[in-house]
């Protein structure tokens, strides 16, 4: 199980004083009855699991174990010439780069504007060479990057356009941007409408889709017990998001001389990095496929509207003192709430002291840029989920604004 995203939301356990309430950065977007449904699905054999109707209406969709599996599958199907260049919008998860490299491809970094999260067409043109075969644009933090201008360049140069929508599911009908060749959606643990794993690939070209299915057919299926173990882990971590229970656990583990951070970190630990491809090259079990379809069928659009309004309010309180990444986007939905700060450590300390588990930690990286000055390295993720009362959120905004300007 890939734990990097899970650990993100539990990174500061040991900072949580027993009696102080700490608002987590993220909450798992799944209810107990949905966790129970997934567990029950695991008790049936793959043949006995029925997919809900919603699954059948998604003609282009290939269900996968994750977005990373989908990307690996796509690259296996495409067999691009070794040494081909893939332009990545610069903020992504490191495994996407590793997968490209495993296929003998060379990642090239494309800057992202922190205010709008757009990529600039001129910058794309500047990076295209005779070796460019693909452009991968990630829609970050629940916002979308307009693809039309890039697609024109891509088409004129015979380059594939892939949209990485892992963070951008906002409806029960995930669609492919008509100008993109491929769209990838994730149902990983911390994602919107999580299925506790899984992804889907929407691929326009039928031949590529068929080739992907043929390759996937040779991959082993994830065992339903593997999925059940993952469900149990997420259930355990969700329990811990109950702050009273968490405080009890921290006290109990500490009483036995343990380290609560390590204890929880251990329970969320992922597979060893060297096993990455063995892990990714599996098909999802039927229970996971069914869960993806159920999460889409029961998708609550009202939650996205509420999240967008909440994020908008918070952004209005923080700006213009600090830059809220995506606030200049035409349709931000604030899946997470990243603020670009001059002194991010100070902002994190101030927020944590006040009981908000703000952090700079994320599973994302900047392609080909280690510099501490990059805007992404100045980002603080401020807790902003539906479980935080309005007044507390306003307090978080006030602290962020003050700490960011001092």
Ligand X SMILES: Cc1ncc(COP(=O)(O)O)c(C=O)c1O
- Least gap, CB of 89 to ligand X (angstroms): 9
b/e burial code for range 317-343 (CB count within 10 A of at least 16 → b): bbbeebbbbbbbbeebbbbbbbbbbee
| Minimum CB distance to ligand X smaller for 55 or for 367 | 367
Inter-residue contact 66 to 45 (CB < 8 Å): no
Residue in 22, 73, 96, 276 binding ligand X, rule: CB under 6 A: 96
Task: Show the site string, 5-34: x = touches ligand X by CB under 6 A, - = not.
Answer: x-----------------------------
Q: Would you count residue 90 as binding ligand X (CB under 6 A)? A: no
Q: Which 59-88 residues touch ligand X, going by CB under 6 A? A: 66-68
Inter-residue contact 30 to 292 (CB < 8 Å): no
| Minimum CB distance to ligand X smaller for 60 or for 259 | 60
Query: What number of chain residues touch ligand X (CB under 6 A)?
Result: 16
- Least gap, CB of 242 to ligand X (angstroms): 24
CA distances from 236 to 38, 96, 240, 276 (A): 15, 28, 6, 24
Alpha carbons 20 and 247: distance in angstroms, whole number: 8
| Minimum CB distance to ligand X smaller for 308 or for 365 | 365
Q: Would you count residue 246 as binding ligand X (CB under 6 A)? A: no
| Minimum CB distance to ligand X smaller for 191 or for 352 | 191
Task: Show the site string, 278-317: x = touches ligand X by CB under 6 A, - = not.
Answer: ----------------------------------------
- Least gap, CB of 52 to ligand X (angstroms): 21
Q: Would you count residue 93 as binding ligand X (CB under 6 A)? A: yes
User: The tokens 């986007």 sit on which residue?
Assistant: 329
- Least gap, CB of 334 to ligand X (angstroms): 15
User: The tokens 């900072």 sit on which residue?
Assistant: 15
Residue in 267, 363, 366, 394 binding ligand X, rule: CB under 6 A: 363
Residue in 7, 84, 92, 132 binding ligand X, rule: CB under 6 A: 92
Alpha carbons 262 and 272: distance in angstroms, whole number: 17
Q: Would you count residue 199 as binding ligand X (CB under 6 A)? A: yes
**Residue 22: closest CA among 356, 365, 404:** 356
> Token pair of 253, please?
């583990």
b/e burial code for range 174-197 (CB count within 10 A of at least 16 → b): bebbebbbbbbbbbbbbbbbbbbb
* Distance, first Cα to last Cα, the chain: 41
Q: Which 117-176 residues touch ligand X, going by CB under 6 A? A: 138, 164, 166-167
Residue in 11, 109, 186, 350 binding ligand X, rule: CB under 6 A: 186
Cβ-count burial of 51 within 10 angstroms (0-12 exposed, 13-18 middle, 19+ buried)? middle
> Token pair of 272, please?
């060893």
| Minimum CB distance to ligand X smaller for 92 or for 109 | 92
Chain residues binding ligand X by CB under 6 A are 2, 5, 66-68, 92-93, 96, 138, 164, 166-167, 186, 188, 199, 363
């Amino acid at each position: 199980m890939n734990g990097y995203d899970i650990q993100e939301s539990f990174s500061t356990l040991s900072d949580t004083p027993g009696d102080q309430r700490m608002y987590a950065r993220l909450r798992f977007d799944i209810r107990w009855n949905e966790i129970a449904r997934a567990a029950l699905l695991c008790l049936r054999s793959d043949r006995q699991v029925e997919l809900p109707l919603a699954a059948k209406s998604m003609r282009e969709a290939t269900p996968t174990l994750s977005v990373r599996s989908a990307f690996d599958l796509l690259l296996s199907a495409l067999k691009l010439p070794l040494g081909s260049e893939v332009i990545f919008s610069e903020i992504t998860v490191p495994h996407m780069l590793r997968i490209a490299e495993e296929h003998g491809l060379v990642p090239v970094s494309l800057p992202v504007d922190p205010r709008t999260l757009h990529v600039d067409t001129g910058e794309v043109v500047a990076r295209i060479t005779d070796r460019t075969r693909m452009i991968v644009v990630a829609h970050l933090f629940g916002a979308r990057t307009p693809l039309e201008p890039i697609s024109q360049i891509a088409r004129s140069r015979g380059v594939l356009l892939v949209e990485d929508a892992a963070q951008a599911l906002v409806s029960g009908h995930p669609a492919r941007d008509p100008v993109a060749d491929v769209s990838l959606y994730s149902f990983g643990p911390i994602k919107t409408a999580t299925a506790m794993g899984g992804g889907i690939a929407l691929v326009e070209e039928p031949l590529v889709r068929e080739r992907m299915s043929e390759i996937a057919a040779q991959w082993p299926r994830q065992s339903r017990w593997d999925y059940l173990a993952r469900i149990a882990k997420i259930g355990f971590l969700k329990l811990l998001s109950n702050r009273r229970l968490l405080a009890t656990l921290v006290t109990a583990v500490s009483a036995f001389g343990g380290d609560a951070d390590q204890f929880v970190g251990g329970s969320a630990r992922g597979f060893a990095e060297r096993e990455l491809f063995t892990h990714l090259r599996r098909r999802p079990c039927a229970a996971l496929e069914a869960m993806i379809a159920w999460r889409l069928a029961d998708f609550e659009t009202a939650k996205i509207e509420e999240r967008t309004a909440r994020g908008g309010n918070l952004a209005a309180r923080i700006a213009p003192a600090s830059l809220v990444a995506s606030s200049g986007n035409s349709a931000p939905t604030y899946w997470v709430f990243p603020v670009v700060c001059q002194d991010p450590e100070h902002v994190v300390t101030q927020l944590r002291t006040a009981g908000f588990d703000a952090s700079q930690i994320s599973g994302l990286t900047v392609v080909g840029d280690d510099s501490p000055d990059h805007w992404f390295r100045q980002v603080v993720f401020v807790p902003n989920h539906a479980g935080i009362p309005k007044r507390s959120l306003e307090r978080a905004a006030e602290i962020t604004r003050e700490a960011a300007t001092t």
